[in-house]
A and B are shown apart, each in its own frame.
Chain A
Amino acid sequence: AQRVTQPEKLLSVFKGAPVELKCNYSYSGSPELFWYVQYSRQRLQLLLRHISRESIKGFTADLNKGETSFHLKKPFAQEEDSAMYYCALSALLTWMDSSYKLIFGSGTRLLVRP
């Protein structure tokens, strides 16, 4: 079964502290994973994807196929990082046309205190 698990509903840290938002997935195929972020009163937007291996706003995430994880990390949290973070898996929708669907985890609210 295709599944994305984010075990923490809320993560509260102080400004300047390291942050790690956990994400584990279950998928029999070759996974494509993403982190989406939703700031207060804004729409959901892409933060980063594992294929790009990029750092966005200081955040990085490494795909660990052995542990089936895609944790999001930032060495020094900032107050403006406070938001809702969703881990997402792109899973094959149908074998017939090779189209994909995006499955979300339950989300983790990050609160960065001053």
Chain B
Amino acid sequence: GAVVSQHPSWVICKSGTSVKIECRSLDFQATTMFWYRQFPKQSLMLMATSNEGSKATYEQGVEKDKFLINHASLTLSTLTVTSAHPEDSSFYICGGRVTVNTGELFFGEGSRLTVL
């Protein structure tokens, strides 16, 4: 299957700093990238959907100014957590979609963010 590489796998930062998480599709072109957040022992919550070359579509309740998503190319999407706070600590997962109008996604390994 298609491979998505997510980096970093874990990061610790100080409160107030910004953190960037990268998601790369290694052997396919991800026309759409989905960003999820997972709290401990809870489900994956969709944060936003990004299409290459256009603005991301954020889910209700997700602050677009806090969680900046960029999808500059068909193989790279980034999530930047700006001015991070301890409540932003979580597990973030990206999923790339190959074919339009399908629910089959290829997921990255996830990134665990801890904000001190």
Residue of B nearest to A88 (CB): B103
A104 contacts B108, CB within 8 Å? no
Query: Once the chains are docked, how many angstroms separate the CA of A104 from the CA of B34?
Result: 12
- The interface size of chain B toward A, counting residues with CB under 8 Å, comes to 24
Residue of A nearest to B42 (CB): A106
Cβ contacts under 8 Å, B105 to chain A: 46, 102
Interchain CB contact (< 8 A) of A93 among B1, B57, B95:
B57
Distance (whole angstroms) from the CB of B43 to the closest CB of chain A? 4
Interchain CB contact (< 8 A) of B110 among A32, A43, A89, A104:
A43
Cβ contacts under 8 Å, B41 to chain A: 9
**Within residues 10 to 60 of chain B, which ones have a CB less than 8 A from any CB in chain A?**
32, 34, 36, 41-44, 46, 49, 51, 57
B43 contacts A98, CB within 8 Å? no
A interface: dominant SS: strand
Cβ contacts under 8 Å, B109 to chain A: 43
Cβ contacts under 8 Å, B57 to chain A: 93-94
Interchain CB contact (< 8 A) of B95 among A89, A100, A102:
A102
Residue of B nearest to A98 (CB): B101
A100 contacts B1, CB within 8 Å? no
Residue of B nearest to A34 (CB): B103
Cβ contacts under 8 Å, A93 to chain B: 49, 57
8 additional A-B residue pairs with CB within 8 Å, beyond A90-B103, A101-B49, A102-B103: A44-B107, A88-B103, A93-B57, A99-B49, A101-B34, A102-B46, A104-B44, A106-B42
26 A–B contact pairs at CB < 8 A? A32-B102, A32-B103, A33-B103, A43-B107, A43-B108, A44-B107, A45-B107, A46-B104, A86-B44, A88-B103, A90-B102, A90-B103, A98-B101, A99-B32, A99-B49, A99-B100, A100-B103, A101-B34, A101-B46, A101-B49, A102-B34, A102-B46, A102-B95, A102-B103, A102-B105, A106-B42
